[in-house]
Amino acid sequence: MPITGECFCGSIQYQIDGALKDARSCHCSRCRKAFSSQASAYALVDKDEFKWIKGWALLTSYESQPGFGLQFCSKCGSTLCGTYNDEVHGVTLGCINGNPQVEIGYHLFVGSKASWELLPEGITAYAEGKSKDA
Ligand SMILES: [Zn+2]
Ligand SMILES: [Zn+2]
């Protein structure tokens, strides 16, 4: 069964013929705003295993840093994926349908989490980034 995802309004859908990799959550102030939430929830995909199956024309892009961007639904605002040099790099876990057989492995930048967030017990957490590319 391929993994599928869609935005809140359902206009845009994608399919991944492969596994999600390196699922993580980042609690930094930038990710909180990008994900409109307490943290990001994001996993990497192989760009050759990812395809849009519906509504691609409704996608809007925002370049957050040179080369890195986010793509979201221009109707409902759901952020669907991250891009690197205009290719899909990963997906937001919140837009995935069903069980994608992956769990968030680690939490980044918990040292700068929102004051109102209470972290659960037992998670693997780093005060800042895990490595230079995190
Ligand atoms: Zn939508
Ligand atoms: Zn972050």
Structural domains in the chain plus CATH codes: 3-112 (2.170.150.70)
- Taking the centre of ligand 2 as the mean of its atom positions, its distance from the CA of residue 7, in whole angstroms, is 21
pLDDT of residue 134: 45
For residues 105, 111, 114, 118, the Cα torsion angle rounded to the nearest 10 degrees is 60
- Taking the centre of ligand 1 as the mean of its atom positions, its distance from the CA of residue 81, in whole angstroms, is 13
- Taking the centre of ligand 1 as the mean of its atom positions, its distance from the CA of residue 58, in whole angstroms, is 8
CB atoms within 5 A of ion ligand 1 belong to 7, 9, 11, 73, 75-76
pLDDT at 130 over 90: no
- Taking the centre of ligand 1 as the mean of its atom positions, its distance from the CA of residue 11, in whole angstroms, is 5
- Taking the centre of ligand 1 as the mean of its atom positions, its distance from the CA of residue 38, in whole angstroms, is 21
- Over residues 39-93, the pLDDT tens digits come to 999 999 999 999 999 999 999 999 989 999 999 999 999 999 999 999 999 999 9
- Taking the centre of ligand 1 as the mean of its atom positions, its distance from the CA of residue 132, in whole angstroms, is 33
Instruction: Report CA-CA distances (Å) from 32 to 39, 81, 90, 93, 111.
Output: 5, 15, 17, 14, 13
Q: What is the mean pLDDT of the chain?
A: 95
Q: Which ligand is nearest to the CA of 79?
A: 1
